[in-house]
Structure 1
Amino acid sequence: MSTALVIGAGPGLSASLARALKQRGHSIVLASRDTSSLSDLAQEIGATLIDCNARNPGDMERLFTMLDEQQDDLDVAIYNPSARNQGPIATLDPVDVENTLMISAYGAFLMAHHAAKRMLPRNQGAMFFTGATAGVKGFANSAPFAMGKFALRGLCQSLARELHPKGIHIGHVVIDGIIGSPANPESASGDEDFDNMLNPDAIARTYMHLLDQHRSAWSWEIEIRPWVESF
């Protein structure tokens, strides 16, 4: 059985991704700074939970060492964490800005660094990264988020050029809009009720479409947004 790793796991998009990957037959590993809220999901899909701060090199090395102990091939690695802090540039706390950059971009580098070591010997695998519109255009009073997501996009573009010819599929998914979730009172359960925000299950299906792409027609980046979203 092959392993699918989701870093930055939570109850929204990550949960939808985990369920979709489980349906494909993958063994699921969910990594998060605090996995205490993921026990129901883990029980539902038989996932392994690992506490891991993605911006911490020691935590990330320990995570991948634990993956090695499972003795399954790592086929899919998804990086979902991000952080944002907003405000006028003159009022931003430099420590908070550093944290945003470390979570949004440096942690993604760490995942790619360790995942590539496992995938390159087999010339096979996929790494997907959750991006945002802020990685394509920076908005006012949102400099830290823009910096982090621009860096993430640059990382993915570089990885695609390096690793696509070696059999490893890189995908950067630009999510333009608000993701619906049970915690959001404006969200609903049916597809028809997500007119103004993205259905996390629908986003997960898009990730699976990327995973199914034939290597003769790989995408390295795709944008998704609600049909009513202006852009």
Structure 2
Amino acid sequence: MIQNQDLTLPSVVVFGVGAQRGIGAAVCRRFAQEGLKVHVVGRTATKVDRVTTEIINLGGQAISHCINIENQAEVKALFDSIHQERVEAVIHNVGGNIPSIFLKTTAGFFNKMWKSTFSSAYIVSQYSLNVFQHQQNGTLIFTGASASMRGKPYFAAFTMGKSALRNYALNLAKIYKPLNIHIAHVVIDGMVDGDRVNQAVLGFGRLLRLTRGTGGLNIDAIAENYWMLYQQKKELWTHELDLRPYQEKF
């Protein structure tokens, strides 16, 4: 674990941090830029440590946590370790987009995708909302996808989890808004200009992103919108935000 810790600082917990050029890492950097301590959470130690080190080198406060976000005991242990802090926001940015042919898809694959796209969000939200209720405020943001709104061929398993997450998040928003807890669901509607896409299939992902004519969603612009959601006043809270490349035709 790499850390640079000040218990007096308000903090944000970002789940699902991977590559330095990814949504999770960009969100970590954006919140750290504003002086919040960032808990950088992912399943690969080298990746979360790299993001944490980058933030610390830029003068920010960050702590890396390598856990299995689908494991309730590990998520609980993380929240137990920060119980003395004032957690301002929690970001759930988990769930890989993996295609499969429906009639050749095993039940095991469906279960794996369900745990990644939905169950992990359920676990994270339970512990987050316990903290926020005690504090009487907080912001919880879920990362969605095009699949949250509509299914596409070969992505039935991914759509199943992401569409469930969307309905779950919007339901939580109604329940917890009167308790001064802001819950938002962000639809990332398009290919992201990040390492996951650009390095996919020996670089074919980058070629596909460029040839679609949209250029992909900029990760720093996405992070800016997460920061905007966190800053919103309760008089006008956004509970769902749809982000897509400006060149895309509706």
Give TM-score, length-normalised by structure 2.
0.85
What one-letter code is carried by the residue in structure 2 that aligns with 1:76? Answer: A
3-state secondary structure, aligned to 1:106: helix
| 1:3 counterpart (11, 24, 28) | 11
3-state secondary structure, aligned to 2:245: coil
Written as runs of structure 1 = structure 2, the 5 A alignment for 1:97-112 is 97-112=110-125
The alpha-carbon deviation at position 122 of structure 1 amounts to: 1.9
The alpha-carbon deviation at position 195 of structure 1 amounts to: 4.6
| 1:199 counterpart (202, 213, 218) | 218
| 2:69 counterpart (51, 54, 71) | 54
- The number of aligned residues is 223
Q: Distance in 2 between matches of 1:84 and 1:38?
A: 20
Q: What whole-Å deviation, never above 9, does each CA across 1:55-80 have from its counterpart, x for those lacking one?
A: 11111111111222xx2111110000
Contact 1:85–1:97 under 8 Å retained in 2: no
| 1:65 counterpart (58, 80, 93) | 80
Unpaired runs of 5+ residues, structure 2, are: 1-8, 57-61, 208-212
Instruction: Tell me which residue corresponds to 1:76.
Output: 89
Q: Distance in 2 between matches of 1:98 and 1:157?
A: 23
The alpha-carbon deviation at position 158 of structure 1 amounts to: 1.1
What one-letter code is carried by the residue in structure 1 that aligns with 2:28? Answer: A
Q: What whole-Å deviation, never above 9, does each CA across 1:36-72 have from its counterpart, x for those lacking one?
A: 123232122231111111111111111111222xx21
The alpha-carbon deviation at position 87 of structure 1 amounts to: 2.5
Instruction: Tell me which residue corresponds to 1:148.
Output: 161
Instruction: Tell me which residue corresponds to 1:190.
Output: none
CA RMSD of aligned residues (A): 1.6
Q: What whole-Å deviation, never above 9, does each CA across 1:104-158 have from its counterpart, x for those lacking one?
A: 1110011110011111022110000100010111112211011000111011011
Instruction: Tell me which residue corresponds to 1:215.
Output: 234
Unpaired runs of 5+ residues, structure 1, are: 188-193
Which segments of structure 1 move beyond 6 Å, counting only runs of 4 or more?
none
Instruction: Tell me which residue corresponds to 2:193.
Output: 180
Contact 2:98–2:158 under 8 Å retained in 1: yes
Question: Is 1:45 paired with 2:58?
Answer: no
| 1:35 counterpart (22, 45, 57) | 45
Instruction: Tell me which residue corresponds to 2:5.
Output: none
Q: Distance in 2 between matches of 1:96 and 1:19?
A: 33
The alpha-carbon deviation at position 84 of structure 1 amounts to: 3.4
What one-letter code is carried by the residue in structure 2 that aligns with 1:215? Answer: K
